[in-house]
Structure 1
Amino acid sequence: MSSTTSSFPDRIELTGEGLVLRDWTEEDLAAMPGLFDHPDIAHWTPIVSPFGEEAARARLERARDLRAEGTTILLAITTDGGAPLGEVMLRCAPEGTEIGYAVGPAHRGQGLAARAVRLMAAYAFEQLGVEQVILELEAENASSVAVATKTGFRLLDVPLIEGEEKGRPFVLQTWGLNRP
């Protein structure tokens, strides 16, 4: 993908799996800290912590900038197009087309992450024509490993990704799902 021309439409709304994945809006700013300002999100994701009003506005702007660059889409996970319950990401990078997600603590246990991952994977396969989507996650993140297995991803035989985020070292496994 070219970094000068977005391959994503200006607006995206994906429906299926009992979900509506939609663009973040200014109306979501007040709800975002309740979704993202949590120790689990701080530990397992690169989302800034603590996550308050300023971080919410910065995330909304970043979502718009990444979309304009044509590299990444960040969508609110909703059941009806209304209140956001979490976020799902699709990032097109040289190492692969990656999906990521975060579900607000009050909304866990409803299968939202797995359903959002399946819906985003279908978008990547059908609309972007990719052959494989990946998840990069830590083996110790039992919830994400459960989402990966529940959605049909398989652990790939590729090198681990080692790094540091927020002063904490991490080792990521790469899981893949091939186009049906």
Structure 2
Amino acid sequence: MSSTPASLPERIEISEEGLVLRDWTEADVAVMPELFDHPDIAYWTPIVSPFDEAAARARLDLARRIRADGTTILLAVTVDGGAPLGEVMLRRAAGGAEIGYAIGPAHRRQGLAVRAVRVMAAYAFRELGAERLILELEAENAASVAVATRAGFGLLDVPLITGEEKGRPFALQTWGLKRP
């Protein structure tokens, strides 16, 4: 990526791999708690918990603000552009971008996370000119390790990222994917 990143489009809709990744809308606020108010999401992600309608509205506002800042894209994961099943995130980083994701508990084990990561990776390479992408995840999060592997990412030989969030320590591994 260039040293001066291009602005991000005001609206994004990406249709690939049987998914439609689209912007969050006001209509999604009512269903976002079903997706994100879950112990797994509270434990493994930085998404606020408990996740209620106020948290959903704040997340929608956040998605719009960070897009306007040109740093991050938060998109709803859907199969047809309709009901959201989860979220995929793309955050610009030096020389590339970081991808993150969360799929609602009722929609897991359908390959949604793997496909969403692959679609977002293709977008980052094609539209943003990213040279490399990363995923940061905990080794104990077997589901995310499986997503990283199935999406073509490899574990990088770099130091763990350690810290504390929501009152618990974490150690994140960095997984990488280079431009094809």
The TM-score bracket by the shorter chain reads: over 0.9
Whether 1:73 aligns to 2:62 is no
The number of aligned residues is 179
Q: Could you report, residue by residue, the CA deviation over 1:110-153 in whole angstroms, capped at 9, with x for unpaired residues? A: 00000000000000001111111100000000000000000110
What one-letter code is carried by the residue in structure 1 that aligns with 2:169?
P
Structure 1 regions of 5+ residues with no counterpart? none
Whether contact under 8 Å (2:96, 2:131) holds in the other structure is no
How far the C-alpha of 1:94 sits from its partner, in A, is: 3.4
Maintained 8 Å contact 2:36/2:104: yes
Q: 2:122 corresponds to which residue? A: 122
1:33 aligns with 2:33: yes
Letter in structure 1 aligned against 2:93: A
Q: Distance in 2 between matches of 1:97 and 1:49?
A: 26
Write the distance in 1 (CA, Å) between the matches of 2:36 and 2:90.
Answer: 18
Contact 2:95-2:132 within 8 A present in 1 as well? no
> In structure 2, what is the Cα distance between the partners aligned to 1:11 and 1:133?
22
Which residue of structure 2 aligns with residue 165 of structure 1?
165
Report % sequence identity: 77
Preserved CA contact (<8 Å) 1:155 1:173:
yes
Residue type at the aligned position of 1:64: R
Partner of 1:10: 10
Q: Does 1:94 align with 2:80?
A: no
Report deviation, 1:93.
2.4
Q: Is the 8 A contact 2:95 2:131 kept in 1?
A: no
Separation in structure 1 between the aligned mates of residue 171 and residue 122 of structure 2, nearest angstrom: 27
Are 1:84 and 2:84 counterparts? yes
Structure 2: stretches of 5+ with no match in the other structure: none
| Stretches (4+) displaced over 6 A | none
Letter aligned with residue 72 of structure 1: T
| 2:112 alignment partner in structure 1 | 112
Measure, in 2, the Cα distance between the counterparts of 1:84 and 1:99.
Answer: 18
* Alignment match, 2:156: 156
Compared CA separation, residues 31 and 6, structure 1 to 2 (3 A): farther
Structure 1 residue 6: deviation in Å? 6.0
Amino acid of the structure 2 residue aligned with 1:145: V
Normalising by structure 2, we get a TM-score of: 0.96
Distance 1:84 1:163 in 2: 31
Which deviates more from structure 2 when the two are superposed, residues 89-98 or residues 152-161? Answer: 89-98
Amino acid at match of 2:145: V
- Matched residue SS, 1:174: strand
CA apart distance, 1:7: 1.9
